[in-house]
Amino acid sequence: MKNISKILLNIILIITLSINIFNKLYDNRIVLIALAIYLVLAYLLYGYRRPNKRNLENAILIVFLGSFLTISIFYFMGTFSEFSRNYSYMLYKYLKPNVWISVFAIVFLTEFVRYITCSGPKGSKLTTKIIYISLFIIFVLLDLSLSKKVLNVSSFNNVYEFFALTFCASLTKNVFLMWLTNKYGYIPCYIYRLIIDLYVYFLPIVPKANMLIQACMFMILPFILYKFVDGTRKERDIPKAKDVRKRWWDRVETAILLIIFTILAGLVSREFKYSMIAVGSGSMSGTIEKGDAIIYQKYKGELLHEGDIIVFKIDNTLIVHRINKKFFLGEEYVYMTKGDANSSVDNWIVESNMIVGRVEKRIRYIAWPSVWINENY
């Protein structure tokens, strides 16, 4: 009976949070009242046990240093772009005290709810899975409530921003925090939330960083912290030689995946010397196919030649075509372009200020998911 009550309680909270989000009410009072009632009932259903203090200091230190370093890197990136004013400036100018106080209260209650529900007894395997899945949905909905963002399919950019910055970051974060609170209690979770989620209320400015880089940083961080925290926990036990080799290989594998992921994120962000974009048309078929990705080097005014494949912008659209002819016009070279699969040259002249970069490499097929989403949404 208790297990059924737990599941029903989770469903009721999911419905309440969903109404608040998808009706775009975004009322923190509704969330606070719902969380407070849920916390009392969860305490009665799950009970309370003291957090495990074994290796707690290591977990706190790793979470603090990892989170602080990530925010420091994030703000250092702002020195290459620019900054904008943040919530901490608006606290005294625009935001009423009850607004930001309610945000802190929601975070506090969320982590206490997370600890009680994730560390308490669940029942059978099936019941445990249902409870954990419903809890995970609750914590993601709470993130959406605080971010005040809901999926908007009016454009590809809106869909991309929602999934990259809000939804995917919430998924990885909550998987990590549910594991962390089950192993070490709520204190490391509070530290993580204070630094990663609430820094905007303390610091007067925030970097205008590339959206993809920002999303990647906050999606990768929970994974890195998990690896380090879990590694220190296991190293306290006496390991077998086979386990030592396996852990060593796990760390090498993790490092390789992170390096590859970071390189891809840097390329797609278009913030560095080399960038990557998806090819969404067949105008270059035979050389570059639809669904391929190309890596290009940023154009900095160097002289280009006939036969070079370039990336240029027409009406805010990036086009990848080959230079068919170049000639001198006024005081600079201009270029006529043509797609390899097209029968005639393009009906425009490409000036140097329109050129984004020169194509260096082609990677087959990997851009098909991006092309499919762009075409269908």
144-167: string of b/e by CB count within 10 Å (b at 16+)? Answer: bbbbebbeeeeeeeebbbbebbbb
Q: What is the pLDDT of residue 125?
A: 83
Query: What confidence tier does 114 reach under pLDDT thresholds 50, 70, 90?
Result: very high
Return the percentage of the chain with pLDDT > 90, whole number.
38
Residue with tokens 């075509």, as numbered in its chain: 321
One-letter amino acid at 68 equals F
What contacts 208, CB < 8 A, 6 or more positions away?
78, 81, 82, 83, 84
Which one-letter amino acid corresponds to residue 80?
A: F
Best mean pLDDT range from 2-11, 87-96, 117-126, 213-222: 2-11
Q: pLDDT (tens digit, 9 = 90+) per residue, 212-266?
A: 667 777 888 898 899 888 877 655 555 555 555 555 666 666 666 666 656 655 5
pLDDT at 18 over 80: yes
Confidence of residue 320 (pLDDT cuts 50, 70, 90): very high
Give the global pTM.
0.68
pLDDT at 195 (0 to 100): 93
| 88 has a pLDDT exceeding 60 | no
CA neighbor of 316 nearest in space, from 283, 354, 278, 357: 354
CB atoms within 10 A of CB 301: 9
pLDDT of residue 307: 94
Domain coordinates of the chain in residue numbers? 2-234+251-269, 274-376
| Reduced 3-state DSSP string for 222-280 | HHHHHHHHHHHHHHCCCCCHHHHHHHHHHHHHHHHHHHHHHHHHHHHHCCCCEEEEECC
Q: What are phi and psi of 293, to 5 degrees?
A: -115, 145
Beta carbons of 239 and 246 less than 8 angstroms apart:
no
Residue 299 φ then ψ, to 5°: -85, 130
Rounded to whole angstroms, how far apart are CA atoms 292 and 105?
48
Question: Length of the chain, please?
Answer: 377
For domain 274-376, give the CATH number. Answer: 2.10.109.10
